[in-house]
């Protein structure tokens, strides 16, 4: 009986130790500020359904924040989600119109479901922006550097990629 208990404890310990490294490899994506050609823009909050996103599947995003200078205008302001690498976009960006107007200084929240994910390389960038497509600069944005854990997130003017 003692051998059975010892073997069970040893097996449980080995399974726990064996599983631990895999949990460390799957790190949460961290979004940071992105640059804009005409000065700083507001940092927005981004939450992803599956973190990190799975290549060639669908994903959901919850985007929120508070824009300090720009109003969100119904059917004119867009949510833009784009996957890109150093060479440029990996696919067409996902674009969704806001369905409500929100004055600057008030919090906003927009959800996007069924966002298509392109075939993803080992390392890439994920950019999310809120803005008017007729403007050169987004109202707010966030970018994440995925797959380069040893490298700090780069600040990109990804709004110019579209």
Indicate the pTM of the whole model: 0.76
User: What is the Cα–Cα distance from 130 to 65, expressed in whole angstroms?
Assistant: 10
Q: Average pLDDT for residues 66-71, to the nearest whole number? A: 95
Counting Cβ atoms within 10 Å, is residue 131 exposed (0-12), middle (13-18) or buried (19+)?
buried
Q: Quick check: bond before 84 cis, omega within 30? A: no
Is residue 116 a contact partner of residue 97, using CB atoms and an 8 Å limit? no
Structure tokens at 114: 């069924």
Return the CATH class of domain 27-161: mainly beta
Whether 52 has a pLDDT exceeding 90, the answer reads no
What confidence tens digit (pLDDT) does each residue in 101-144 have?
A: 999 999 999 999 999 999 999 999 999 999 999 888 899 999 99
Domain ranges of the chain: 27-161
């Amino acid at each position: 009986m003692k051998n059975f208990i010892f073997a069970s404890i040893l097996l449980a310990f080995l399974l726990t130790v064996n599983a631990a490294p895999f949990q460390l490899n799957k790190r949460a994506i961290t979004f940071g500020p992105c640059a804009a050609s005409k000065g700083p823009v507001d940092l927005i909050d981004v939450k992803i359904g599956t973190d990190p996103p799975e290549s060639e599947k669908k994903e959901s995003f919850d985007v929120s924040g508070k824009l300090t200078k720009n109003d969100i205008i119904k059917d004119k302001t867009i949510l833009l989600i784009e996957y890109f690498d150093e060479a440029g976009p990996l696919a067409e960006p996902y674009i969704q119109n806001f369905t409500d107007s929100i004055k600057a200084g008030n919090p906003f929240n927009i959800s996007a479901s069924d966002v298509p994910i392109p075939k993803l390389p080992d390392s890439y960038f994920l950019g999310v922006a809120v803005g008017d497509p007729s403007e050169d600069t987004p109202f707010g944005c966030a970018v994440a550097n995925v797959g380069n854990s040893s490298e700090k997130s780069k600040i990109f003017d990804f709004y110019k990629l579209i």
